[in-house]
Structure 1
Amino acid sequence: MTSSSISSVPWQRRRTLLDQLLAEGGRALQVLDGSVPHDRAYPAGPAKPDEPALSPDESRHSAGLMRVNHVGEICAQALYRGQALLCRDESVRAVLYQAAAEEVDHLAWCRQRLDELQSRPSILNPLWYAGSFGLGLAASRAGVPHNLGFMAETERQVEEHLDGHLSTLPEHDHRSRQVVTQMRDDEIGHRATAEHHGAVPLPAPVRWAMRLMSKVMTTSAYRI
């Protein structure tokens, strides 16, 4: 290898990373404006004329919970793509991108249910996306076991949130319940996948910090 080719390697690597960051920027815009393509069908299916109507209070509550879920999927999409970007293990990177792809389905489902409830996503979504992407970049530098541990712990906490939503959604809001149930089942699968690939438990302070951040996010997203 000549001296000129050696000196060009760092630049080539920087250029590749820059290209990836630009691509991620484009992806972020698609996620935030709802145009990112998704694969699976809407769990609630077409609306039926005989479905029970929600009262105004019930509709607002369901919309608040689905807005929280939508924000959670914004964060998960950004987090996993940030983790994958700097991950050097090809198989683990594939796991992260696959999880992110399935979160896109959740994102679209939540957005569709919000539309049905005549509501809107959180106006703070760009902030949540940027913060989660940065957190994913930081997590990726902790090594593969902790990178996967971050994914497993994220999914564990999301499972708890979704179980809580199923207990507080209006009993006859079957459409929201179908969406949330399928999301929860997928999150359980993501956690199991991370654990199968070698995830390790995160230190208690990290888990507590994640719960605190989640609390701030869910409280604000319910209304804003």
Structure 2
Amino acid sequence: MIDKVLIEIDRALKTLTLEPTEKRVRPDASIQENSSLSTPNKKINAQYMRVNHSGEICAQGLYRGQLFFNRNALIKSELEKAADEEADHLAWCNKRIEELGGKTSKLNPVLYTSSFIIGAFNSFVDEKSNLGFLAETEKQVALHLTRHLGRVDKNDIKTIHILKAMKADEEGHESSAIAMGAKELNPLAKKIMGKASKLMTKTTFYI
């Protein structure tokens, strides 16, 4: 158990301090930067991408937490696959923020830690509930990305392509969790998750 804890601490530090690298090519790689984007719109889009970057920090913490007590080989495989795809999202968001002249959130260490604890708790309590929590999380993230797609500058095609690719992955993760037998969460749990998500998005937009 001590070894597992040390491994997770090391992984957390790397996630929070090292520049992320992607395994898949960025969805916007073939698209040229739009030189007509105004400075104010770049700033706003960078803030939206900062929120999404923090969401991916949460995802990394959540998946690592869900894997911590997991003993199901199939679930382990699916969680690791999803975590890899989320790591791509993290790298895409990080680079796009830089290109737009923005910065990542100072709250990321807190977000990673709290997400890890939540994930570990769910994996310890019940396998099906763990999958249910994962499915609901991915559903809410996909809805959140849909809102961002409606708010970013329509001339920022690069950012839009990244968000669309991320949304497709999140919907796939939700479907995988459901296919593995995810137990639907009760309305109160969904409401609490929604409130927590709104708090995270509002704070990381500015901090």
Q: Which of the five TM-score ranges fits, normalised by the shorter chain? A: over 0.9
The aligned runs of 1:87-98 (5 Å cut-off) are 87-98=70-81
Q: How does 1:1-224 map to 2 (within 5 A)?
A: 17-45=1-29, 48=32, 51-224=34-207
Note the C-alpha offset of 1:53: 2.5
Q: With structure 2 as the length reference, what TM-score do the two structures score?
A: 0.96
By how many angstroms is 1:211 displaced?
A: 0.7
Rounded to whole Å, the distance in 2 between the matches of 1:146 and 1:181 is: 28
Do the aligned residues in 1 keep the contact of 2:89 with 2:166 (CA within 8 Å)?
Answer: yes
Query: TM-score when scaled to structure 1?
Result: 0.89
Which ranges of 4 or more aligned residues in structure 1 deviate by more than 4 Å?
none
**How far did 1:36 drift?**
4.3
Bigger mean CA deviation after superposition, 207-216 or 36-45 = 36-45
Measure how far apart 1:46 and its partner are. 5.5
Q: Which amino acid aligns with 1:205?
A: L
- Residues 27 and 36 in structure 1, CA contact (< 8 A), matched pair in contact too: no
Structure 2 spans left out of the alignment, 5+ residues: none
Q: Distance in 1 between matches of 2:175 and 2:106?
A: 32
Q: How far is 1:56 from its partner?
A: 1.9
**Aligned match of 1:11:** none
Which consecutive residues of structure 1, in runs of 5 or more, have no partner in the other structure? 1-16
Cα deviation 1:115-147 (Å, max 9, x = unaligned): 100111001100000000001111112311111
Larger Rg: 1
Equivalent AA in structure 1 for residue 72 of structure 2: D
1: distance between equivalents of 2:67 and 2:191? 23
Which whole-Å CA distance do the structure 2 matches of 1:144 and 1:22 have between them? 24
**How far, CA to CA, are the matches of 2:150 and 2:190 in structure 1?**
24
In the TM superposition, what is the alpha-carbon distance from 1:41 to its structure 2 partner?
1.0
Q: Using the alignment, how far apart are the partners of 1:205 and 1:141 within structure 2?
A: 20
- Partner AA of 1:19 in structure 2: D
| Alpha-carbon distance in 2 for matches of 1:89, 1:193 | 15
Greater relative contact order, per chain length (Cα 8 Å cut-off, separation 6+): 2
Q: Give, in whole Å, the separation in 1 of the partners of 2:68 and 2:2.
A: 11
**TM-superposition CA deviations, 1:83-119 (whole Å, max 9, x none):** 1110121211221121111100000000000010011
RMSD: 1.3
How many residue pairs get aligned? The number is 207
The one-letter amino acid paired with 2:56 is E
Identical pairs, percent: 40
Contact between 1:52 and 1:172, CA under 8 Å: does it hold in 2?
A: no
Once the two structures are superposed, what CA deviation does each residue of 1:134-185 show, in whole Å capped at 9, x if it has no partner?
0111111231111100110000000000000000110101010011000000
